[in-house]
Amino acid sequence: MDKKPVLEMKGITKEFPGVKALDDVTFNAYSGEILALCGENGAGKSTLMKVLSGVYGEGTYEGEIYVNGQLCHFTDPSKSVHAGIAMIYQEISMHLDMSIAENIYIGAWPKKGGRVDWAGMNRETVGLLKRVGLDMAPDTILRRLSASQQQLVSIARALSKNPRILVLDEPTSPLTKLESDLLFEILLSLKNQGIACILITHKMEEVFGYSDRVTVLRDGKTISTYNREEITEDRVIADMVGRSFDSYYPKETVPIGDVAMEIRHFSVAHPFAAGKKIIDDVSLNVRRGEILGVAGLVGAGRSELMNAVFGKDPKLSGEVLVEGRTVAIKSPEDAMKAGIGLVTEDRKKDGIIGNMTIRENLTLSNLDAVSSHGILNLKKEREFAGRYYGDMGVKATGMEDWLCKLSGGNQQKVVLGKWVARVPKILILDEPTRGVDVGAKYEIYKIMVELARQGVAIIMISSELPELLSMSDRVVIIADGQIRGEMPASECSQESVMALATRN
């Protein structure tokens, strides 16, 4: 490791109206290292990286940025890119109706004779795709790719800039285990080439599996920086949340009652492959007070099954029984009337309306409860929303805050609150803690346990096996569109679940 850091951020302070997002943050990174940047949602990590990337330009914050000892003036993102800084954001932002090659080189398409050099651009793209392990033609339209494949394209785009400093914000969130492993092989290779890799992640296995140093932010301040071998997971989490946990998974044993919902012989068409089924003749049930974990690799059909059960996506065949009675579900409205709720995998896409207030989002699924003869009663809405705003422990200045201003964990609490307010019989949670920090995860788990205690039947899809095995009463494993195994969570191991999940 060089004695002098390749990156120094000194005394960075950034304020928004009523909020000090960064408070005298000092941060540095060295060539040839992987530095993990940890902190709860809202700790200031993303704000700090937006300062570094020039999204928040010089003059909008206090402090100084040095790259290779030179004071930098990042007035816009292009200046940051020119200094050798590349960003991979958590939220994939690309042009879906353009090709892979066009997305990788957008804004810098190579030219020959005054025209775009399509052949050269495609040739360079092939090499970049090989580096990230994506076997696709460079002229493939991005919309045809899965979320995980799109993330690999965004990584290839960052590598095309030959960065000296690479920032990755929750890069494995949409990736499968195999794709995540490949990503870290790429990072280790970049580290060996002398690139400084800054990894923002909530996953402790990534922090302790790959980082050289760890910096923790809390409430906009630098709390600590350690060499990885000097610390434990408990120490990092305590620094992140300002307290220690007796258990990260507050699962409790509650009485399990009768079958609340049964799914019989469900088949669902594959969203991308014509004539193929992504779910093929699947049957399962969940009981009152039970947390049923659904395991499987990304693309196994877990989300597609639950979206079809909820009426969000069409089914090919199958029936749903609630409390022993068949219910006809052709739309989410039908599912809601039957007592079913769904927290979707992508809250930003179809879970929230960011430019509406917390109050408005909390009552979106409950407008009948706050309306009279089709006219919204604001007093009723405030009283109704206020009850669940408090119960969910949402951290904000008030219910009139726009939801897009909240951290991911607090947005997820609002989504949960929206469904809890309907008093569902069955609640489906699709990746409920994705992109959520340790403290917010713990609070979401507590909400789940309380709902189970009240007799709600919960189905939880999760790609985090420790979470799935610790919070579930029973686990079903889906692979290649079918159920490959079912067992009590107490009898499962990560190895046994993965063995079934990877069966063809």
Question: Domain-by-domain residue ranges, the chain?
Answer: 7-241, 259-339+424-501
Closest CA to 162 of 82, 75, 68: 82
H-run or E-run covering 377: none
Paired strand residues for 215: 37, 225
Three-state secondary structure along 184-249? HHHHHHHHHCCCEEEEECCCHHHHHHHCCEEEEEECCEEEEEEEHHHCCHHHHHHHHHCCCCCCCC
CATH 3.30.110.70 fits 259-339+424-501, yes or no: no
Q: Which two tokens stand for residue 425?
A: 């019989």
Question: Sheet harboring 85-88: ordered strands across?
Answer: 85-88, 165-169, 196-200, 34-38, 213-218, 221-227
DSSP for residue 131: H
CATH topology agreement for domains 7-241 and 259-339+424-501: yes
Q: How far apart are the first and last CA of the chain?
A: 45
Would you call 172 helix, strand, or coil by DSSP? Answer: coil
pLDDT of residue 468: 93
Report how far residue 275's alpha carbon sits from residue 182's, in angstroms, rounded to the nearest whole number: 31
pLDDT of residue 246: 64
pLDDT of residue 64: 96
DSSP for residue 252: -
Report how far residue 412's alpha carbon sits from residue 447's, in angstroms, rounded to the nearest whole number: 12
pLDDT of residue 91: 63
Q: Give the length of the chain.
A: 504
Would you call 339 helix, strand, or coil by DSSP? Answer: coil
Report how far residue 35's alpha carbon sits from residue 24's, in angstroms, rounded to the nearest whole number: 20
pLDDT of residue 2: 47
Report how far residue 414's alpha carbon sits from residue 394's, in angstroms, rounded to the nearest whole number: 7
pLDDT of residue 504: 58
pLDDT of residue 99: 94
Mean pLDDT, consecutive 10-residue segments, the chain of 504 residues?
Answer: 83 87 94 92 86 94 95 93 88 83 88 88 93 88 82 87 90 75 87 93 88 93 94 88 74 94 95 86 97 88 94 94 96 95 82 86 85 85 86 84 82 87 93 80 89 96 89 95 94 88 72
Beta-strand runs (E) in 346-425: 371-372, 375-376
- CATH superfamily for 7-241 is P-loop containing nucleotide triphosphate hydrolases (3.40.50.300)
Report how far residue 234's alpha carbon sits from residue 243's, in angstroms, rounded to the nearest whole number: 10
